[in-house]
Amino acid sequence: MQITKKLNELRQAWEDLKAASDARYKTLEKSLAAHTYVKDLVEIEQWLNEKEEELRSENFGKDKETSVKLLKKHKTLELELDSYTGLMKEMDSQLEKIDLQLARDKNESVNVLLKNVVKLANARRIKLINNLQLNEFNDEVGDFVGIMGEYGNAFKSEDYGVDYEHLLVIASRYEDVKTKYDASEPKFKYIKECGAKIGNVDDVIRHVEYVNFYYFPS
């Protein structure tokens, strides 16, 4: 009887120890999952902070080539941002299984940061596109003004030739220039339409006035 009693006590102690061990394991497992969750959030937060700083840049490109490169780089960033947005949705779905206030607080702050970064990305994309359009417009105007300047010089020339044959050559050249000048009207209208689409921008107004000056010389 004494042996049986001791065996029962030993068995109960073993079962109690096993139950305590299982409980401890589950607690540690939950704690590890919670801290791993927070660690993953911190990594996302670090990436978002880095991109937030980039998105606040006022560099939109001083010329068409630079603008195109910056816009391409921005599109790549937005694809990455889409991936992180999807990742945060997965993190949100896992949050109810995490029993740690720190994890809930960090999840909330990272989601706020994510929304802000998405907002900044949308705003920067619009500015980059507008700036690219402006640079393309500036290039169009520059080319057009250059050509109009050449035509203007031809129209203002005081070279009337030294003889009749020379005069015929000059007259022929003048007719050729005038024909090209008259044919440039659609280009002029196109430039003004592009300027109107871009909006009330100082550079646009200045360039349109410049084109007017060359196209309608006083």
- Residue 113: closest CA among 35, 55, 27, 194: 55
Q: In CATH, what class is 2-215?
A: mainly alpha
* Whether the predicted model's global pTM rises above the 0.95 cut: no
Tell me how far apart the alpha carbons of residues 73 and 59 are, in angstroms, rounded to a whole number. 13
Q: Domain-by-domain residue ranges, the chain?
A: 2-215
Do residues 192 and 208 make contact, with C-beta atoms less than 8 angstroms apart?
yes
Q: Could you report the per-residue pLDDT of 39-61, keeping only the tens digit for each?
A: 999 999 999 999 999 999 999 99
Residue 211 is predicted with a pLDDT of 57
Q: What is the largest CA-CA distance in the chain?
A: 144
Q: Could you report the per-residue pLDDT of 132-177, keeping only the tens digit for each?
A: 988 888 887 777 777 776 766 666 666 666 676 776 776 777 777 7
Give the pLDDT mean for 98-123.
92
Q: Could you report the per-residue pLDDT of 67-97, keeping only the tens digit for each?
A: 999 999 999 999 999 999 999 999 998 888 8
